[in-house]
Amino acid sequence: MDFKKDFIVEKIEGSQVKITGEIPYEEVVKHRAKTIKALGKNIKVDGFREGHVPEAIVVQKIGDLALLTEMAESALAATYPEILKAHKLDAIGQPKIEITKIALDNPLGFTATVAVLPEIKLGDYKKIAKTLNKEKEEILVTDEDVEKQVKDILRQKAAYERLQKKAQSGENESHTHADGTVHEGPAHDDEGKPLEDINDLEIPELTDETVQTLGTPGQFETVADFKMKLREHLEIEKKREAEAKHRAGLTDKIIEESQFELPQILVDSELGQMFSQMEEDIKRAGLSVDDYLNHMKKTREDLKVEWTPAAEKRARLQLILNEIAKAEEILPEPAKVEEEAKHLLEHYKNADAARVKIYVASVMQNEAVMKFLESC
């Protein structure tokens, strides 16, 4: 059997291929003994030990057609990977197989439809990165930024102390919400801040004694120490925001300049991950998914429609990062992958080790590609 010549591969829409061909009957028959042995393990016949029923009785029990069908499936399972290898197909997911002809002493006819990794025509990612890197925002924290943050922190402190004082004195206020419910106590928003304008609150003077009451005990000693650490924090936050904005701009432009057909199976995979993350977050908050959806007045189908554009973008980005990694021969260090995978498995003991390793390698490779682009 010539896996290259005997099977026709046709490209169809959605980055899929349709494989058509026949497996010679003599190849199918090679799977007869193995199939009978497998089926015989589940057949019980008086006078014979389980798993030791004679072949003739097994065939009589299951029938010729059922046996042939099982042999066909076994032959397909052995042939399909060889066809992919011969035609150099990067299949994604499980194929949809349809048997078109099956009969004793006849070739087994079938078609197999499967998604494949698309042929990607990348934009000039190095040129794009070089251009956008020149425009990268400079990180600068001014004295005004620090003073504004100081005032915000002191106002929040004053608002919190006001609430505490009212709670301790037993002073209550009644407030009727828009939905008609009555709330006893100081009016506040969802974050616990008083609904009055906190800008009108008298804020405490910034002294060494004041800063020592902020943060965790011993975190700040003096005003100078407080402002220095606050500036460092603002620099980290601004740097993180600028990096995220820059990376988003880089990847958006590369996606825009690249051309390929997106397999639906990858979009579905991204949607599956998004739903899993949502369910995990909801359960962690002590809620049920159904209650959450009812509260949001949405169905899973509503969310699927809303999330599909983001899922498509994530799928496109991953394919592009993989393609750049291949072109630039970027690979994560095996030792670091092993180390990080081991660390994750210590926290998620029931996770599949092989899948964790694949996940870690993918994350590390993506980060390495982004650093490469930022260095252009």
Predicted local confidence at residue 195, as pLDDT: 47
Rounded percentage of the chain residues whose pLDDT exceeds 90: 68
Q: What Rg value do the Cα atoms of the chain yield, rounded?
A: 32
Residue 198 lies in a domain: yes
d(CA 229, CA 222): 11
Residue 123 lies in a domain: no
The tokens of 141 are what? 């924290």
Residue 70 clears pLDDT 80, i.e. is over it: yes
Predicted confidence (pLDDT) per residue in 215-240, tens digit = 888 899 999 999 999 999 999 999 99
Average pLDDT for residues 169-180, to the nearest whole number?
Answer: 54
Please give the residue that has the higher pLDDT: either 372 or 139.
Answer: 372
Residue 204 lies in a domain: yes
Q: Identify the helix (H) or strand (E) that includes residue 234.
A: helix 223-257
Residue 355 lies in a domain: no
d(CA 104, CA 69): 10
Do 41 and 120 contact (CB within 8 A), yes or no?
Answer: no
Residue 293 lies in a domain: no
Residues 173 and 84 in one domain: no
Average pLDDT for residues 6-28, to the nearest whole number?
Answer: 95
Rounded percentage of the chain residues whose pLDDT exceeds 70: 90
- Band (pLDDT 50/70/90 cuts) for residue 312 is very high
The total number of structural domains that make up the chain: 2
Number of neighbours of residue 52 by Cβ within 10 angstroms: 9
- The CATH number given to whatever domain includes residue 48 is 3.30.70.1050
Domain with 18 in it: 7-116
Number of neighbours of residue 236 by Cβ within 10 angstroms: 12
* Residues sharing a CB contact under 8 Å with residue 350, sequence separation 6 or more, in sequence order: none
- Phi, psi dihedral angles at 160 (to 5 degrees): -65, -45
Residues 111 and 11 in one domain: yes
Residue 224 lies in a domain: yes
Select from 214, 247, 280 the last residue of a domain: 247
Mean pLDDT over each residue of the chain, to the nearest integer: 88
Select from 56, 85, 116 the last residue of a domain: 116
Integer CA distances (angstroms), 229 to 104, 155, 220, in order: 81, 19, 8
Please give the residue that has the higher pLDDT: either 163 or 271.
Answer: 271
Do 58 and 73 contact (CB within 8 A), yes or no?
Answer: no
Strand ranges of the sheet holding 7-12, from the earlier edge strand across to the other edge: 7-12, 16-23, 108-116, 91-101
d(CA 76, CA 57): 26
Residues 28 and 103 in one domain: yes
What does DSSP assign to residue 98?
Answer: E
Residue 20 clears pLDDT 60, i.e. is over it: yes
Predicted local confidence at residue 39, as pLDDT: 76
What number of CA atoms fall less than 13 Å from residue 257's CA on the CB side? 14
